[in-house]
Amino acid sequence: NNHKSNSRGALIVLEGLDRSGKTSQLSRLHSYLEGLGYLVESWRFPDRNTGVGQMISSYLANKSQLDDHAIHLLFSANRWEKRSLMETKLRSGTTLIVDRYSFSGVAFSSAKSLDIEWCKAPEVGLLAPDLVLYLDIPPEKAAERGGYGGERYEQLEFQRKVAHSYQLLHDASWKIVDASLPVEDVEKQLREMVLDCVTTCRNGKALSQLWS
Ligand code: NYM
């Protein structure tokens, strides 16, 4: 593989309901890309390691209460505080595969009846993903998988609303993958899409910004 020194990494986002399999697919993709010789890092939002991330974590654990708008803006701030590092990594050739991004932000908050355009506004100017992979699973099926951790939002009734919000949000550029399929089948589909994206970015596709 002839890695061009000025070629950039790809920004790849996995989205989906809780228990849709994002986290395990992410780690499989990570190993796959690494095995092919790519520079790759796995990220996730919320990033609970920052000060803002700790406030979010405490909210999700029901240890603190926050106004719906305020927590929405904290989730967004948590992405903004990582934006410049994200850009540096991408421009230096590292591919980032990210567990949740702005789409989770909008889907979860608008499921609480916040206005969808209001929810999108603080995300404008963040880096746009080169690829959004949506792991599609019926809320009932995700709930059957068990392991809802007892955090805020991890309830069937709410997840149904989130699924609806995701439907309003996605556009033709998203790749929708049937996450009810066996893990290996999902993995196989994701590998192809990811490889295609990484190649396009290496060949000079420009970085762009949300929300256009
Ligand atoms: N979540 C995640 C939001 O409500 N807004 C956001 O912007 C993001 C990134 O946090 N139930 C919700 C979705 C999840 C929860 O995520 C924690 P995870 O992937 O379970 O750590």
* Per-residue pLDDT of the chain in tens (212 residues, 90 and over written 9): 455 557 999 999 999 999 999 999 999 999 999 999 999 999 999 999 999 999 999 999 999 999 999 999 999 999 999 999 999 999 999 999 999 999 999 999 999 999 999 999 999 999 999 999 999 999 999 999 877 888 999 999 999 999 999 999 999 999 999 999 999 999 999 999 999 999 999 999 999 999 96
- What share of residues in the chain are helix, strand, coil (percent, to 5)? 50, 15, 35
Does the predicted model carry a pTM greater than 0.90? Answer: yes
Distance 84 CA to ligand 1 centre (A): 21
E strands within 6-47?
A: 11-16, 40-44
Tokens 């991330």 found at: 53
Q: Which residues of 102-132 are buried (b: 16+ CB within 10 A; e: fewer)?
A: bbbbbbbbbbbebeeeebbebbeebbbbbbb
Is domain 11-202 in CATH 3.40.630.10, yes or no?
no
Distance 179 CA to ligand 1 centre (A): 18
Nearest atom, ligand 1, residue 109 CA = 4
Nearest atom, ligand 1, residue 105 CA = 7
Domain range annotation of the chain? 11-202
Dist. CA 193–CA 190, nearest whole Å: 5
Q: SS3 for 188?
A: helix
Q: How far is CA 123 from CA 42, 44, 66, 73, 103, in A?
A: 21, 16, 20, 9, 9
